[in-house]
Chains A and B, each alone.
Chain A
Amino acid sequence: MALVEIRDIHKKFGRVDVLKGVSLDVEEGEIVTIIGRSGSGKSTLLRCINALETVDAGEIRVEGERVHARMRDLKQFRQRVGIVFQAFNLFPHLKVERNITLAPLLTGRTDKTKARALAEDVLASVGLADKIDAWPEQLSGGQQQRVAIARCLAMAPHLMLFDEVTSALDPELVGEVLKVMEAMARQGMTMILVTHEMGFARNVADRIVFMHQGRVWEQGPPAKLFANPETPELASFIASAK
């Protein structure tokens, strides 16, 4: 059984069909990168997986559980699925340590005596152990994004979703975030990424999914997809991304 099973989901915003029957499986430990033009439905798909958006039809299962049918268990479900956003979304009024430990403490995953050690652990894994007492506003964009990743890791998720996490960063800061994600990939984390970083997608992903007009247009291993796109839409997209 795949860790994530997406079956024929449809999603409309008003009259706009954003997702028009998307189906996708993601195996445990797999790294799937979703690429496509703006408006192709990539981010909406990620938000549907984490139930930030409802779906109009179809179903999504994560670890066998139907996401949108079990709204009462949504809090527990979200503790197992981390999501990192383009805009970091750190809580500006909380220091880095509290940003990381807030959810583990409030959800009972850790207690006060172990919270600081947990923050130190996850910060070390993203190379920011020395920033534990900083305010988010005192960090660079890349550092804030790494803290956002650490904040998710503190919940020990089974699946990580990344929504264009490098798009808001200055070019010189992109590398430090991608390195952290590569390290997570090596450790076997199941990851679904929406990204415009074609180099990263090519080198790290197990599978590339190209979305176009709200559908999965083409998918396959990076080497095959980038070398021999089967559809003119993907060929054109790859050419424009170079």
Chain B
Amino acid sequence: MNFLPLWRYQNQLIDGAIVTLELTVVAALFGILIGVAGAVALNGRIAPLRWLVRGYIELFRNTPSLIQIFIVFFVLPTFGLKLPAFEAACVALSLYFGAYSVEIIRSGLDSIPRSQVEAGQCLGLSGWQVFRHIVLPPALRNAYPAVTSQFVLLLLGTSLASQVAADELFHVAGFIESRTYRSFEVYAVICAVYFAMAMAFKALFALVGAAAFRWPRRR
């Protein structure tokens, strides 16, 4: 076991980790936007929109995310939409994360009792005011643990983007291994990097959650 030959590739490893983080954060942000919009549509009154969102959720939750990335990267160009590897992975992972986020956010919204909405309405608040000030904060708290778990799964899942040659951490690891033939050392190092990033995000989410959701839980 010798880790020294990897030392000269430290910059590539750091760059790969940064690309992994960028991929995760971008996909998570778009995925959450899709999640909120989809949750509102699922709870809405327009039936065709509900069917569309339901179809999207089932499609992306019941097919391999590697195939989703391949379709965006290899198939869309035949329809005139050619995306570079990083952007293609972002689109596919956003849609994948969004499909899970819709259900998570919807379950958060559904967890708020109807009586809370009525109490807000009875005070003369508008529908938007009730949603923004009464429904959303506790709904976010209820959805928060599941969203953050899904975020960590997304972080780990970005390694699939290596298959379309996006320069993320796993792809960089493959490159270093092909140059050094140090398989164990290379994968031990990137395993540790993924682990460290996941634990760091968990700690960050715990801090953010404690600061954002300070009210006591119901007994």
Q: Say yes or no: A89 contacts B118, CB within 8 Å.
A: yes
Q: Of all chain A residues, which has the CB nearest B129?
A: A106
Q: What distance in Å separates the Cβ of B113 from its nearest Cβ neighbour in chain A?
A: 8
Counting CB contacts under 8 A, is B217 at the interface?
A: yes
Residue numbers in B under 8 Å from A89 (CB-CB): 115-116, 118-119
Q: Say yes or no: A78 contacts B216, CB within 8 Å.
A: no
Q: Say yes or no: A85 contacts B115, CB within 8 Å.
A: yes
Q: Of all chain B residues, which has the CB nearest A50?
A: B122
Interface residues on A, range: 20 to 34
With A135-B216, A137-B219 already in contact, the answer to whether A93 and B124 are too (CB < 8 A) is no
Residue-wise interface mask of A (39-65) relative to B, using a CB-CB cutoff of 8 A (1 in contact, 0 not): 000000000001010000000000000
Residues from 52 to 97 in A contacting B, C-beta threshold 8 Å: 52, 75-79, 81-83, 85, 87, 89-95
Q: Which of B119, B122, B218 has the most CB of A within 10 A?
A: B122
Counting CB contacts under 8 A, is B123 at the interface?
A: yes
In the bound complex, how far is the Cα of B129 from the Cα of A133, in angstroms?
Answer: 23
Residue numbers in A under 8 Å from B115 (CB-CB): 85, 87, 89
Residue-wise interface mask of B (116-153) relative to A, using a CB-CB cutoff of 8 A (1 in contact, 0 not): 10111111111001000110011001000000000000
Residue numbers in B under 8 Å from A82 (CB-CB): 122
Q: Of all chain A residues, which has the CB nearest B118?
A: A52
In the bound complex, how far is the Cα of B115 from the Cα of A151, in angstroms?
Answer: 15
Q: Say yes or no: B123 contacts A151, CB within 8 Å.
A: yes
Residue numbers in B under 8 Å from A52 (CB-CB): 118, 121-122
Residue numbers in A under 8 Å from B118 (CB-CB): 52, 85, 89
Residue numbers in B under 8 Å from A152 (CB-CB): 123
Counting CB contacts under 8 A, is B79 at the interface?
A: no
Q: Of all chain B residues, which has the CB nearest A151?
A: B123
Q: Say yes or no: A91 contacts B116, CB within 8 Å.
A: yes
Residue-wise interface mask of B (146-182) relative to A, using a CB-CB cutoff of 8 A (1 in contact, 0 not): 0000000000000000000000000000000000000
With A91-B134, A93-B137 already in contact, the answer to whether A102 and B218 are too (CB < 8 A) is no
Q: Say yes or no: B218 contacts A78, CB within 8 Å.
A: no
Counting CB contacts under 8 A, is B215 at the interface?
A: yes
In the bound complex, how far is the Cα of B218 from the Cα of A52, in angstroms?
Answer: 26
Q: Which of A93, A106, A107, A135 has the most CB of B within 10 A?
A: A93
Q: Which B residues fall within an 8 A CB radius of A?
A: 115-116, 118-126, 129, 133-134, 137-138, 141, 213, 215-219
